[in-house]
Structure formats: C-alpha cells, structure tokens
Chains A and B, each alone.
Chain A
Amino acid sequence: MITFTIDGIEVEGEKEQSVLEVALDNGFGIPHLCYHEALKPYGACRLCLVEVTKGGRTRLTTSCNYPVLEGISVQTNTEKIMRARRMVIELLLARCPDVPVIKDLAEEYSVGEPRFIVDHDDCILCGLCERVCREVVGADAITFLGRGSGRKVGPPLEINPKTCIACGACVYVCPTDCIKLEETDKERTIVRWGRTLPMKSCKVCGRPFAPWFQLDYFGKITDGIPKDFWDTCPDCR
C-alpha cells in the first residue's frame, strides 16, 4: 500500500493506481471528463488538475495519469487550480454551450458567459469513444482525425466504419451525449458514424435483439461457445 495525503488527509492507494482514482474512492470531488475507470487515462480535458508536491517541488499536473507515490502531498483546490479549472470550463463552454454536463460544470464553478466567440459543437474530444472501442470492444472502428482546431473523431477517412459492430459502447461512455443510437425493427444505426447494421431476431421470442455483424464478431472473438448461443436473445437464454 502506498500512503500519501490529499488536501492534508492521509489516504492509501495501490501501486499502479492514479491519484484521481484514489481521490475519487475517498470522496474528493475532482472534476473530470475524459477519465473512465475501465479505460487507460488520456489526460486531455485538463479538468482533473491538481498540485502535487514531491521532493520539495510542486507542480500542476493532471491527476488521472499521475501514479500514486509514497509521501507525496496532493492539493485539489488551490487558487492556482481554481484559476486554471475555471478557464478550462470557460473554453469548453465557448466550444459546447448547449451540452448539459458543461453547463453544469459552469454553474458549479461560477463560470459565466464565455468571453470568446461561441461555437455550437457537441463534442469535447475527450476520446472516450475511441478508447472504449479500441481497448474494451476491440473493434477499433473510430479514431481521432485531423489536428488542432480541425480535430474530430470518426471512422478513418470518414467513410463507413467497417469494423463497427454497433454495440453502443461509445454512446454509453460519451459525456456530452453527442453519439446517438437509433433503432427500428430491421436495423440499428450509430448516427454519428453513419453506421447502419441489419438486426437479427431471436429464434425463440422473435424480437430483434442485436445486429448480425455484432453477433458474428462475438462468435469470432470467443472460444468454446456453441453456435446456437447467438441465435437467442439474452432474455430467452
């Protein structure tokens, strides 16, 4: 166990844990948008900034990817942190003024009307969608495209993402809710990536429950599961 302090309070963490993980486990409210416990940390949104003092030197750093170390002292809401955090929120608010989670953050940290020209984007480029697709699902269907202010997420070359199984994991992890899933009897669409797949119906109850392509994929990546397992929906299994 690694012992260190957060805001003067002694806490314990395990090797390989990040400061943010331990902080959240112990009830410290550090805001974050691009962190997810199931995924590798990315350090992009810059909201989780903390001040870490190690060996006499203090630095401002993201906590999601800073490993816990014996004896460090972490501060979560110094004046410096607040100043940086509020500007980060203001920049995000100017980019995505209509996104609920950003508006909530603005209210929580008393960030008023942005002093910049307001866009109406819906994506904060946190990368959670592309990370879950690559690290957890393994489909690797979407990626970051472009650079700087032109950066966005999408399928390579912005054409039909051939490996997307329309599982909806990206929809689930997105903090701004900008990836929509639409379903009819016949097909499911992940709207943002333009991916439409035909649905397979359950042999028992007849309800369309998953895209054919997705079930084929699961069949390929799993071992020792009988083929007819994929013919029935989870309820009927």
Chain B
Amino acid sequence: MRRITTPQELEEVRKEIQEGRDPSKPCVAITSGTSARAYGSEKVVDAFREELKRRRLGKKVDLRVTGGQGFDEREPLVIIYPKDIMYQRVGPNDAGEIITETLMNDRIVDRLLYANPQTGEKTVRKDEVPFYKGQMPIIFGNNAYIDPTKIEDYLAIGGYSALVKALTEFSPEEVIDTIKRAGLRGRGGGGFPAGVKWESCRNATGDKHYVICNADEGDPGAYMDRGLLEGNPHSVLEGMMIGAYAIGSDEGYVYVRYEYPLASENVRIAIEQLRECGLLGSNILGTGFVFDITVSRGGGAFVCGESTALMASIEGEAGEPRAKHIHTVESGLWDQPTNLNNVETWANVPLIINKGADWYRGIGTEGSKGTKIFSLVGKVNNTGLVEVPMGMTIREIVYDIGGGISDGGRLKGVQTGGPSGGCIPESLIDIPIDFDKLDEVGSMMGSGGMIVMDNKTCMVDIAKYFMNFLKDESCGKCTTCREGTRRMYEILDAITLGEGKEGDIELLEELSWVVSEASLCALGQTAPNPVMSTLRYFRDEYEAHINEKRCPAGVCKALITYRIVKEKCTACGKCKKVCPSEAISGEKKVPHTIDPKKCIRCGACISECNFDAIEVV
C-alpha cells in the first residue's frame, strides 16, 4: 500500500483497487472469526486454498477470508459470489465438492444449504435465509465483503471516504453537530448521547485530549464488539479518527479485553496498515490533522469495562473505579479530557457522516435512532449476532429472525443488558427495542446481549448466576458492592438449595436498594438489577422455592425429584444401565423405580428414555 498524502490520492488508490476487481468474478468467502474457528474454519480455509491451487483455479476464483457474519451456530459459512449462495456448517472435506459442483458446474450442494428447523424448507441465497432477511445490517453487513487484514478491501467498499468528508468539508464543531442531530446514543450500555459527550470533551480545558474505544465487552453472552473488531476493525478506527478530529485529540487508545486475541491482532494489523500509508500519524491527508492509536490490552476483569477503571488500567494501575462526579470528559486518562465510546458507537460514525444525520434519523424510534447489534443466544433456534433497527419488537427478533424457541420449549422471557440488565417476561415481548422503553420495564439495552429463556429456565437460578458473576468481578473497593453482592449471592444460593426462609425476599430487596444507591460505580449500582427484575416478574418462583421448597422450572437440583411414570415405563432397562449412581432398580417386565436418595438429577436417564416415562417433579 503506497503512501497516501492527499484526499485525491486516496480516491486514486480507491479507484485503482475497484477497477482491479470484477464483481462478476467467482469468489469464495469463508467466515473465520472466533466462532467459526472454534468449529475448525481455519482447516476449511486451508482445504479450499489447496483445492483451488491443485485445480489451477487460483487466478480464476478469489478466496476471501472474512470475520464472523453473524450466524455463528451455522459457521463456518461459505458464500459463493456473485450468486450469493450460502453453505453452512462446512467442513474441510466439503471443499472439493463445492468447487466441483457449484463453481465449475453451477449446481447446488443441497445438503449444505440452510434448512428451516421447523418447516424443513431450504434456502439457497444468503439474503433469503430467514435469519438474515429480517435484519438491517448497515454496520455489521460489511463483514461479508472484507478480509479484515486487508485495508484494500475496506477501501474498495468506500472506506475512509467519511474521514475525508469530515476533514475537508466539516469543521470539528460541524462534525459534533451532525452526530448530535443524528441522535447517536452510546451502544455500550449507557445510551448517553455521543454528540453531547464529544462536545463536553472538546470544550474541556486540558493540554491533551484523548479518545478511547472501549472494547472490554465483559457481559457474559455478548460478543458484538468482538464480531466488529475482528471482522471490520477499520470501521471502528475510522469512527475514532473522525471523533478525534471533532474533539481535538491527537492520541487514541483501543482497550481490548485480554480474552479477545483475534480482535486485538486484527486491530493491530489495521493500525499498522494505516500508519504505513500515512492515514495515521502527522499531517493526515495533508490537512494538518495529527492522530495515532495504541492498542491496550486488559488483564481479565469485568470491572475494566467501567470507564474510570479502564482508564486506570491504561495508566498501568489496578482497574479500580473512582468517584464519578468528576466527569471523565473533563478529567480522565492522566487527568486529561477524555472521550470514551464503545466499539459499536464508533462504527456508526462513518455511516452518519457519509449519509447524513437526517438519513440516520429515519431509522429507529423517537428516542433511539439507528440500529443495534444484539447477540441472540439461549434457547433460540438461530443463535448469533443480529442487527436490527431500534423499534423492532423482541417478538420479531426471537421468532422471525431467531426462528423461535429451540427443543420445543415455550418462551418464558428474554434477558437483556447482561448482569446490569433484567428479564423481560413473555407478556411484554411486544415492546419495541428502545433505550427508554427497556428502562421502563426494569431492564436495559446494555451492550446488546439478548438471552432467550424457556419454561425450563429457573429465574431464581438465573439471578443466582448473575450475582455469582458480579461478586467475583467486583473490584472490592467499596463496602456496599463487595459485601452486598456476595451476601445477595449467599441468600440466592440458599434459596436454590431449599434453605430459603421467610424474610429472604425482603432482605434481598433491602440489599438491592443499598447496593444500587450507595455503590461507587455502575457495576455495583446495577448489580441488583437481575434480582430486582426477576422479583418483579417472577416473584411466585421465589416464593415457591422458599415456602414450598419447590422449583417450578424443574432446575434446582435440591428441590426436584426424578420419578418414573409407571404407566409409561416399558421396563426396557436403558435408564438403569446409564445411571451413574445406580439409583434405578427394577426387574424385567416390572416398571422401574428411582431411589431419590441416590439420584443426583444428572438427567442421563431422561435423555435415554424413548418412552418419555421419567418426569421431573
């Protein structure tokens, strides 16, 4: 990549790249983000590379290795262009067949197509797969077209044109004004208007202004930022550069959690390429703009997603938050004005600059503009990352895009916002996804985690799960969070063990109040949310555990019994064979029985039984 020193040169380079590409040329794109790699995508890539080489097709067929494309549970995906044919769950041994059938003979390999789990209907084109059809992937969709380690791919789809526009057609204040008018709200969880934050930071006094990209993404089950950073790091960096220009910053940091090595690496490569061609450094594009970015890696702490703890971590201190009445936009990193935004927030910026605030305002609801990427996980058929316009209902996401509840279960609720969020019961799933609407019902948008729960999910167990996470991740500085979260966990644990007592719910409510009111940072302040929201909508489950020593969902092992239904049992003996604790007894032709004292409720017998003869009570 040659050095680019003016906007004209950038356009020349872009044109060169685009003209060297033929959209009708066959291209095999293979997803190879972290999810796909867990399924062995690297071997699939190698297999295709070798096969194409062996058949001397290397020049006739392009091979593109992309980041994740959202439909994680079906990856590795192989998409054949220009026809947009999508194959899913592709293995290395399928490479030969795909090349022969589809590339050389224009035939479809039927067995690798996506099939609707409920109807069996198969889909050929990626954009017709129900999972993709319902989405509006204006941010995440570009992952399909680029190899994240090649800046040329990003340039080919128009990358850095927004930066040029911002630097040459807008003053810094005009950039801020555009972002304000667009109504972009933080995508990391806070939902704070980004333009307002940028403006406060710009106006704050300090020798140095910093911009930070928060890629700590600690919420269990949330991996949108990972998907963006791995698959399209330049979109995030371009956003940061535009922000830096607007704020008056010459130094930026991308803070990536330690557990994201691929994201970290791809961002690093992208930054290197930008430095090489002169898009990072001094006098960028000849405009006098100076900016460079450093990648800073976390050490494995959820609390470092909190902005003041994150900044302490960059400074080399332990990740502990400090009092928030001194805003970080005024005094943040090394006590200088600092603007921190989430990965997805930054990725929205180039789009807004290019297409304008009015265009952006056309998407979403009154209070929440644009789209949001959610990680749709849990008891849903189609698991993965989905990008939808604000205002779409949870029902549409779970059923139309998610394909409904898996394993024949019934929807019970959806958890949004991670450990700081709450559960939205089935009765409320027609609410539109919107920052304020989700707050109203006791949950929050959070970073975008969306965990689908069915009737076999115990809500007390869920609250316990989150509280266990929070008590381990609390930095431990302030009394209320450190002591409060572990005491809440203790009470929840006791309840799930059948040791709940009268007054436990009230004590949980009291602790929730103090921890949320008196804690130092947002981790503590939102820690009680999973408990509060499950109590709000599923109080009866808590009461059943405490008063009746019963777990209605049949989950809490101490409160359930496995019982063989005599009328259904055929005495086939399979359960007896598979039981690890020898708890099942019964002679031939006599209905078997389970000894509750020996039974450990592992569920092996239920899996083995072909007659549905074992019930959980």
In the complex, how many residues of chain B place their beta carbon closer than 8 angstroms to a beta carbon of chain A? Answer: 34
Cβ-defined contact, A88 with B507, below 8 A: no
Cβ-defined contact, B473 with A44, below 8 A: no
Cβ-defined contact, A149 with B514, below 8 A: no
Q: Looking at the complex, which one of B474, B507, B518 makes contact with A148 (CB distance below 8 Å)?
A: B474
CB nearest to B489 among chain A residues: A149
Assess A65 versus B323: contact at CB under 8 Å? Given A116-B487, A147-B474, A149-B471: yes
Cβ-defined contact, B483 with A91, below 8 A: yes
Answer yes or no: B475 CB below 8 A from chain A CBs: yes
Answer yes or no: B569 CB below 8 A from chain A CBs: no
Q: Which of B470-518 contact A (CB under 8 A)?
A: 471-480, 482-487, 490, 503, 507, 510-511, 513-514, 517-518
Residues of B within 8 A of A149 (CB): 471-472, 474, 476, 482, 486
What is the 8 Å Cβ interface bit string for chain A, positions 142-158, against chain B (1 contact, 0 not)? 00101111110000000
Cβ-defined contact, B476 with A84, below 8 A: no
Cβ-defined contact, A147 with B480, below 8 A: no
Residues of B within 8 A of A189 (CB): none
What is the 8 Å Cβ interface bit string for chain B, positions 26-50, against chain A (1 contact, 0 not)? 0000000000000000000000000
Answer yes or no: A24 CB below 8 A from chain B CBs: no
Cβ-defined contact, A66 with B479, below 8 A: no
A237 to B513, CA, bound (A): 58
Residues of B within 8 A of A94 (CB): 483, 487
Closest-CB distance, A49 to chain B (whole angstroms):
6
Residues of B within 8 A of A95 (CB): 483
A44 to B478, CA, bound (A): 4
Residues of B within 8 A of A59 (CB): 325
Cβ-defined contact, A84 with B487, below 8 A: no
Answer yes or no: A204 CB below 8 A from chain B CBs: no
Q: Looking at the complex, which one of A45, A115, A148 makes contact with B473 (CB distance below 8 Å)?
A: A148
Residues of B within 8 A of A116 (CB): 487, 490
Cβ-defined contact, A46 with B518, below 8 A: yes
Residues of B within 8 A of A47 (CB): 479
CB nearest to B477 among chain A residues: A44
Q: Looking at the complex, which one of B471, B517, B520 makes contact with A43 (CB distance below 8 Å)?
A: B520
CB nearest to A116 among chain B residues: B487
Answer yes or no: A61 CB below 8 A from chain B CBs: yes
Cβ-defined contact, A62 with B323, below 8 A: yes
Answer yes or no: A60 CB below 8 A from chain B CBs: yes
Interface residues of B, dominant DSSP: helix
Cβ-defined contact, B479 with A84, below 8 A: no
Q: Which of B445-484 contact A (CB under 8 A)?
A: 471-480, 482-484
Cβ-defined contact, A45 with B476, below 8 A: no
Answer yes or no: A92 CB below 8 A from chain B CBs: yes
Residues of A within 8 A of B520 (CB): 43-44, 46, 62
CB nearest to B319 among chain A residues: A147
Answer yes or no: B301 CB below 8 A from chain A CBs: yes
Q: Which of A42-57 contact B (CB under 8 A)?
A: 42-47, 49
Answer yes or no: B15 CB below 8 A from chain A CBs: no
A149 to B476, CA, bound (A): 6
Answer yes or no: A227 CB below 8 A from chain B CBs: no
A83 to B490, CA, bound (A): 22
Answer yes or no: B322 CB below 8 A from chain A CBs: yes
Cβ-defined contact, A151 with B514, below 8 A: no
A45 to B476, CA, bound (A): 11
Residues of A within 8 A of B318 (CB): 144
Cβ-defined contact, A91 with B513, below 8 A: no
A87 to B483, CA, bound (A): 10
User: Can you list 12 A-B contacts (CB < 8 A)?
Assistant: A43-B477, A47-B479, A87-B510, A92-B483, A115-B507, A147-B301, A147-B473, A148-B474, A148-B475, A148-B485, A151-B475, A151-B476
Which residue numbers of A lie inside 8 Å of B, CB to CB? 42-47, 49, 59-62, 65-66, 80, 83-84, 87-88, 91-92, 94-95, 115-117, 124-125, 144, 146-151
Taking A148-B474, A148-B476 as known contacts, 18 extra A-B pairs with beta carbons closer than 8 A to each other, sorted by chain A number, are A43-B322, A43-B323, A59-B325, A61-B323, A87-B518, A88-B514, A91-B479, A91-B480, A91-B484, A94-B487, A115-B507, A116-B487, A144-B318, A147-B473, A149-B476, A149-B482, A151-B476, A151-B482
